[in-house]
Each structure stands twice: as C-alpha cells, then as structure tokens.
Amino acid sequence: MLAYFAKRIGMMVVTLFLIITLTFFLMHAIPGGPFTSEKMLAPEIEEALNAKYGLNDPLWVQYLNYLKGIITLDLGPSFKYPGIRVNDLILDGLPVTAKTGFLALLCVAALGIPLGILAALNQNKWQDTAVMMLATVGVAIPSYVVATVALYIFALQLNLVPTFGLDDWRGYILPVAALSGFWLSFIARLSRSSLLEVLGQDYIVTAKAKGLHPLSILFKHGLRNALIPIVTVLGPVVANLLTGSFVIEQIFALPGIGRHFVLSISNRDYTTIMGITIFYAAFLMVMILIVDILYMLLDPRIKLADRNK
C-alpha cells in the first residue's frame, strides 16, 4: 500500500518535472526575447529589462533558476504586468475558477450518473431515448457555442440571468451549465453503458439466483462495479473542466485563472503562460492521484496487482 503510493508520487514528480522542462524549453524556443515584440521599447531599455529578469544568462542557468523558484513555489514575475508575479495572478483567479469548476463537477456527477442510471434501467424506453438524445446533443455541441447561444437567449433576450459577473447566484447558472454540458452528457452516456455492461454480467445473474432484493442487486452489485470506469474518467473530466474554463471565463467575463491564461496568451506573456501551465499540470497530477485512490478503494483487484509486483 505505502510502497504503491510512494511509487505513484514518484511517478508524479517525474512527470511534473518533464512537463516543467518541456514547457520551459518550448517557451524559450520562441524566436525573439519576450520584450522584442514591444514596438516602443528602446534597445537600452530592452537590455535593462533583459538584465533585470536574468534573460542574458545562459539558458541552463535560467532553467536552474526557474526550477529553484518552483521548488519554493514561486512561478516568477509576469513579463507584461510590471511588479506582479504569476503566483499573484493565479491566487487572484483561483476562487472564481475553483468555484465554477467545483459546481460544474458537482453537476456532472450529481446529474450525469443518475441520468445514465435512469436510461440504463429503462433501456429502449422513452426515458432512455430522451436521455440519450440530450446526451448526444450535449456531446456534439461545443461548449463555447452552448455558452454564446445561452448567453444570447437567457441573458440578452430574456434577461433572466446577468450577462457577466458572479454577483449573485444566477450569474453562476450559465457558466456552470456551459462548462458542465459536455461532461455531463459524456458521463450520462458512460454511466448508461457501464451499468448495462455490468447488469449483463454473470455475477448479476448469480445475485438474482441468490434471491437478493433488486435494490441490493442494483446498488451493491451493479452500481458499485459500474462506477469503476466512471471514476477512472473523473481525472480527465477535471482536466477538461479546467481547460474548458478558458473559453467560458472569456465569454462570461469571469475573472478566473482561465481568463488570465487566455489574456497572457494574446499578450505573449511567456512567464505567465508557463506558470499557469505548470500550475494546471500539478493540479491535475494531484487530481489523478486522488482518482487513483478512489479507484483502488472500489476495485480490490488493483491492490493485489500491485502488492504482487
């Protein structure tokens, strides 16, 4: 058990290190320094800026410094906002992103899974057809289209919700809906097929032959096993809710990390791009670890596989 975790965390650190390295060198492979594009900059000022941010050092020195910074949880200064550090930008956006992201995740799990179960239990009946149709729509239409169309209809035309900002709870409705739409549908489809698959297994017949109560069969034998593949995709779901939030925050003008990220992209604020990327990656690694633990709790076969190694 412990050895397994040590191994997992080791893997995680190595992966993160690879991502940091890759990101760093990718960003530094972009032709021209970060200040070259600024038209108004006189050469001596650019020189001074380069010196200030240590950009005249050899690349590997810069790299080591950056790594050093990351170990002390410092993602360096923003190149575009003087005096502001990338950490500040992330901390500034975190509450909004975390809140919408969490709500969206909640929607995905609390609506997607029950909808999938509903469909599976009524296979080929109207409930199934309705859920599957909705889910197909949800999977097919890109989130930014959902977001803009919803914004137009509910905010601009019907005035039911504010067009931007999160001043009251109604402000959350559209962003959370747009953010969770795809994954809600995806999870509903996955839950349906997973539950159907499980309910077709021999051990469900065994459970019936034992004369268990149908609810016991559904929950203890059906859902418990059907949840396993759902849990395994929760990691990617979190990842995609995060990246999905780039556009959603943009469209609804929400001051989250995603907005800073998109802004930093159009500003070519390389340190911020790099910093936020690494932050995302680290966050996801942790999420994946959590999902792994959940997975292990649900599926005893996994434990053994690793105990034996």
Partner 1 sequence: MNNLNQKIDPQQWAPAKVDAGEAEFIAAPSLTFWQDVRSRLWQNRPAMFSLAFIILLVAAAIFGPMISRHTYFDQDLKLSNIPPILQLYEVQNEGQAATYFFLNSGNFKLYETTEDGELKSILRAKRKDLINKRHIYEFGERRIFVDYSTLPARIVDADENAIDAYGTKWNKTYWFGTDSLGRDVLVRQLYGARISLTVAFIATLVNFFIGIFYGGVAGYFGGNVDNIMMRIVEVIATIPLTLYVILMMVVLQSGFISIIVAIGTVFWVDMARIVRGQMLTLKNQDYVDAAKTMGASTWHILTRHLLPNSIGPILVTLTLLIPSAIFIESFMSFIGLGVSVPMASWGTLTSEAVETLRSYPYQLFFPAAAISLTMFAFNFLGDGLRDALDPRLRK
Partner 2 sequence: MTQSPLLKVRDLTTSFFTSRGEVQAVRGVDFDIHAGEVLGIVGESGSGKSITCMSVLRLLKNNGRTIKGTAHFEGRDLLELSELEMRRLRGNDVAMIFQDPMTSLNPTLTVGEQIIETIIAHKNISRSAARERVVELFELVKIPEAASRLGAYPHEFSGGMRQRVMIAMALSCDPKLLIADEPTTALDVTIQRQILLLLKEIQSRLGMAIILITHDLGVIAEVTDRILVMYGGTAMETANVHHLFDKPMHPYTQGLLASVPNVNNIDGEKLKPIPGSPPDMLRPPKGCPFMPRCDKAMEICVTTGAPEFEIDDAQSHKSRCWLHHPDAPQQKGDAA
Q: State which of positions 184-203 bind partner 1 (CB under 8 A).
A: none
| Binding to partner 1 in span 130-149, by CB under 8 A | 136-137, 139-142, 144-145, 148-149
**35 in contact with partner 1 (CB under 8 A):** no
The answer to the question of residue 61 lying near partner 2 (CB under 8 A) is no
302 and 229 in contact (C-beta within 8 Å)?
no
Q: Is 120 helix (H, G, I), strand (E, B) or coil?
A: helix
Distance CA 257, CA 91 (A): 8
12: left (phi over 0), alpha (psi -120 to 50) or beta: alpha
Cβ pair 256, 100 in contact under 8 A: yes
Pick the closest to residue 233 from 198, 201, 186 (CA basis).
186
Task: Give the number of residues written for the chain.
Answer: 309
Q: Which is nearer to partner 1, 230 or 251 (CB)?
A: 251
Q: Does 228 bind partner 2 (CB under 8 A)?
A: yes
Binding flag, residue 128, partner 2 (CB under 8 A): no
Assess 210 for contact with partner 2 (CB under 8 A). Answer: yes
Q: Which stretch binds partner 1 (CB under 8 A): 7-15, 51-59, 70-78, 221-229?
A: 7-15
The tokens of 309 are what? Answer: 């190694």
3-state secondary structure of 228: helix
Which residue in the set 121, 212, 239, 263 belongs to the binding site for partner 2 (CB under 8 A)? 212
Let me know: does 55 contact 100? Beta carbons within 8 Å: no
Token couple for 229: 């593949």
Q: Is 219 in the site for partner 2 (CB under 8 A)?
A: no
Q: Which residues lie near partner 1 (CB under 8 A)?
A: 11, 14-15, 18-19, 23, 26-27, 29-30, 123-124, 136-137, 139-142, 144-145, 148-149, 151-152, 156, 236, 239-240, 242-243, 246-247, 250-251, 262, 265-266, 268, 270, 273, 277, 280-281, 284-285, 288
The binding site for partner 2 (CB under 8 A) comprises 123, 200-203, 205-213, 216, 220-221, 224-225, 228, 298-301, 304
